[in-house]
Structure 1
Amino acid sequence: MKKTILCLAVACYCFTAFKPGRESETGISPDSAAIKEINARGFSRHIGFLASDEFQGRKPFTVGETKSINYLEAQFRQLGLKPGNGNSYFQEVPMIEIKSVPDRRMIFKGQGGQVTADYLTGFVAGTKRVEPKVSLTNSSLVFAGYGIVAPEFKWNDYAGLDVRGKTVVVMINDPGFADSTLFRGKNMTYYGRWTYKFEEAARQGAAGILIIHDTAPAAYPWSVVRSGWSKSKLQAEEKDNNRSRAAVEGWISLDIAKQLLKLSGQSETILANASKPGFKAVDLKLQTSLNITNTIKRSVSNNVVAILPGTKRPKENIIYSAHWDHLGVGEKVNGDSIYNGAVDNATGVAALLELASAFQKAVHRPERSIVFVSFTGEEQGLIGSEYYARHPVYPVSQTVADINMDMMGIAGKTKDIVIYGYGQSELEDYAEVSARKQGRVIVKDPVPSSGLYYRSDHFNFAKVGIPSLFTGSGVDNVLHGREWGLKQVADYTKSRYHAPGDNAEAITDYTGMVEDTRLLFDLGYRLSQQTTFPKWKSGSEFKAVREK
């Protein structure tokens, strides 16, 4: 790309020649001093603090929260950013903590015998109902395929089915994982997410729902399910105390699912048949019972919000976001019980602080306001960002975009950068320009079936119509190549993701996260100097919401 360089006494700005239809390439780029504020030294320092044992895994309602939000407030103050919520850097998020303890065994009975699933190895279960105890009693099991009702894809796994009082057994992901001609092929839709399946089962009136875990379509091993469900879980406070939800929500292992099919006289081909249009739910002629005892705690967690006011259009804002929370202290693995969350997501929070420093150093200040938000409760179901979307500090109609950062730099410095949910908005075009300045390319998610676009905080902004960008670690390492990079991502997912091994000591290369953050800075800076708003692209499920 040809550029004209104008060097001034105080700074050096880059002006990109105007090209028709390429408005995102016009405008002033930030000076080099601002870019250099984003560096490995800063990442190392912030991650070292946030992912230390002292922060106890940064779980909300714990000393880890207190240390995390105080650290962020202190950093924002030191950088000279203003409080983002009136006179406060904090937005309170009312939440409920539920520690669900199910029976140690879940027994499934049929005419030909029974199958016993052991807690944590064969099943996990909990509840969102704010009640001391919930139960399933002789609840009939129904295999409901993927548990999806999607009119736009002409799909209804619950067609003609009455599941009131029953427990539905469903598959993870959506039919596109098995047949690329269905839904969006390998690109998982929200219908494939476990959160959706629980929501739909509740709408259908089911008493219980069990998702069959399978590593490939889930995109993570059983150990991730086990670690997440063995701890207390947080949720937003609802007026009905979540009595509209199914009493029991949980997962079963693929091995247990196969045993259930055999006991019910069904072939395993039923799993493949569930991916075919017109599939009808099957009564498994099995029953199960389960008791869950809950310990309930109400409290308030916090989002952290800071702002750099714009010079010309301060009411228009661009949000950078990254969740500060992780999983806290839990089940021991190799003698370690602290889930430090270095990559997930001390890297994103460090990027947030590095960006704040860079914007403060920019000689030519942004014309729109830049808002920095670090959310609570992402690991518990995107709670903090959901609360913000429902109670926005800054009007949704004046929010230009959300740029979200989560789990950065896994494959080091790369020639590419991943755009999750590719094809959603014009922010991707801005990202392409910024990548080209670095001699890089943007690529689609290498594992689109993981549905990562629906698994981090930007998703709640998208749901209210705000164009949202979520980039991920590239995989084509500049020294070692693409296969090596893919192996780093696979190894992290298998061995460190949501495990005590995700600690600061395991990060030895900051170059990738530095380069990616500089790219996102360039993107947001250009947005901050413009008067237009990026739009959703045709075919995006969020386009109509914004236009409304």
Structure 2
Amino acid sequence: MIKKILFISALSMAVACKVQKNKPISEANVEDYANTITSSELKEHLYTFASDEFQGRDTGKPGQKKAANYLKKEYISMQIPSPLGEDDYFQDIPSSFFNNQFNDSENVVAYIKGSEFPDEIVVISAHYDHVGVDGQGNIYNGADDDGSGTVSVLEIAEAFQEAVKDGYRPRRSILFLHVTGEEKGLLGSKYYTQNPIFPLENTVTDLNTDMIGRIDPKHEDNPNYIYLIGSDKLSTELHELSEEVNKKYTNFDLDYTYNDENDPNRFYYRSDHYNFAKHNIPVIFYFNGTHADYHKPTDTPDKIEYDLMTRRAQLIFYTAWEVANRDNRLLVDKAK
């Protein structure tokens, strides 16, 4: 009998040790976790992800498949699960969705469940595809577009997971969404919003990162900037929260040039956040602007401003942290 009691007691202790008790999120020092996003880790990721080995990550091609497996491996190593089930990090997209113009492809997804509002989802997205190899054999590595966003999402995920390990689980759930087919017409994000893993009505926001590693010609004399697009289109609260977070933690010059409805570039309609915005989900698109290497084989990892990219990724992390942990869900007050 005593042996049985001792065994049950030991088993209970083992189970208790495995279950990490959540601590009040207000006690967390968010800067400790933001500082786990480092230029050295971003650089290490990107020199692999935007290498010739990945053959320009063209949708449905072997290089894109290799990139998808790289992301899966990283999430497994960080012990961040998939919302699709054990070891299944791919939302498969059949070629029929692409009108058979491209091979089967996949979005890559990982997920941290919220502690208090688990049904409310904060999406952090980036596209991981690029344009492949041209007829002369030139590889388009896509280091900035959008290797920079892709590896930043990995680092942001790691920052959240470090907080979880310390007992600071976000109050809302977070979906890390790496979409394919952006360069073919925002197809991966379109597929997700037509076949959502979580109901779109439960999706609080999409923070989308597409090119945050470079400096455009306009800002060569003052590189302490980031373009924000879409923050005020659907939610005044999201815009104000974004401004406050930046002022408190990162102090970038937030450039809203491309947020203008009359801007001829129409960037608001040209990256994956737009497929969420069409469903009245508030979005922010983080962007460094175009440069001479945009969509050329010369968009390589040696040209990335890693310290600047780190601070931009930290801004996105801080913003996601605030959205995930505020008392109330973001109010949509400008639905279209």
Give the TM-score range, shorter chain: 0.7 to 0.9
Letter in 1 for 2:247: R
* Count of residue correspondences: 298
Offset at 1:422? Answer: 5.3
Question: Normalised by the size of structure 2, how large is the TM-score?
Answer: 0.82
For the residue of structure 2 that corresponds to 1:329, the secondary structure is: coil
Whole-angstrom distance in 2 between the partners of 1:328 and 1:85: 28
**1:62 maps to 2:56:** no
- 1:421-478 CA distances to partner (integer Å, 9 max, x unpaired)? 35313322121011101233423125832111111111001111211111222xxxxx
Separation (CA, whole Å) in 2 of partners of 1:529 and 1:422? 18
SS in 1 for 2:295: coil
Given that 2:231 and 2:283 are in contact with CA atoms closer than 8 Å, whether structure 1 keeps it comes out as no
Are the aligned partners of 2:125 and 2:176 in contact in 1 as well (CA < 8 Å)?
yes
- TM-superposed CA distance for 1:28, in Å, is 6.3
Is the counterpart of residue 496 in structure 1 residue 293 in structure 2?
yes
Corresponding letter in the other structure for 1:404:
N
Query: Could you tell me which residue of structure 2 aligns to residue 423 of structure 1?
Result: 232
Q: Which has the higher strand share?
A: 1
Amino acid of the structure 2 residue aligned with 1:39: T
SS at match of 1:337: coil
The question of whether the paired residues in 2 share the 8 Å contact of 1:407 and 1:472 is answered with yes
Matching of residues 47-446 of structure 1 within 5 Å? 47-87=46-86, 88-95=88-95, 236-237=98-99, 299-332=103-136, 337-362=138-163, 363=166, 364-411=168-215, 414-421=223-230, 423-424=232-233, 425=235, 426-437=237-248, 438-445=250-257
Q: 1:395 is aligned with what amino acid?
A: P
Shift of 1:45: 1.0
Q: How far apart are 1:29 and its partner, in Å?
A: 6.3
The structure in which a higher percent of residues are helix is: 2
Within the candidate set 325, 330, 333, 1:534 is matched to 330
TM-score by length of 1: 0.52
Flag structure 1 segments of 5+ consecutive residues without an equivalent: 1-12, 16-26, 97-234, 238-295, 474-488
1:38-53 to 2 correspondences below 5 Å: 38-53=37-52
Whole-Å Cα distance in 2 between the matches of residues 518 and 379 of structure 1?
26
Query: Please, which of 436, 442, 450 is the counterpart of residue 265 of structure 2?
Result: 450
Displacement of 1:373 in angstroms is: 0.6
| 1:496 maps to amino acid | D
Q: Is the 8 A contact 1:422 1:444 kept in 2?
A: no
Q: CA deviation at 1:65?
A: 1.6
Alpha-carbon distance in structure 1 between the residues aligned to 2:28 and 2:223: 22
**Structure 1 Cα separation of the partners of residues 228 and 253 of structure 2:** 10
Check whether the contact 2:54–2:63 (CA below 8 A) recurs between aligned residues: yes
The answer for the alignment partner of 1:521 in structure 2 is 317
C-alpha distance in structure 2 between counterparts of 1:29 and 1:410, whole Å: 32
Summarize the Cα distance change of 1:53–1:29 in structure 2 as closer, same or farther, 3 Å threshold.
same
The answer on whether the counterparts of 2:83 and 2:109 sit within 8 Å (CA) in structure 1 is yes
Q: Per-residue deviation at 1:506?
A: 2.4
3-state SS of 2:308 partner: helix
In angstroms, what is the RMSD of aligned CA positions?
2.3
User: Which one-letter code corresponds to 1:236 in the other structure?
Assistant: F
Structure-2 change in CA distance of 1:513 and 1:537 (3 Å): farther
1:511 maps to what in 2?
Answer: 307
Q: Of the two, which has the highest radius of gyration?
A: 1
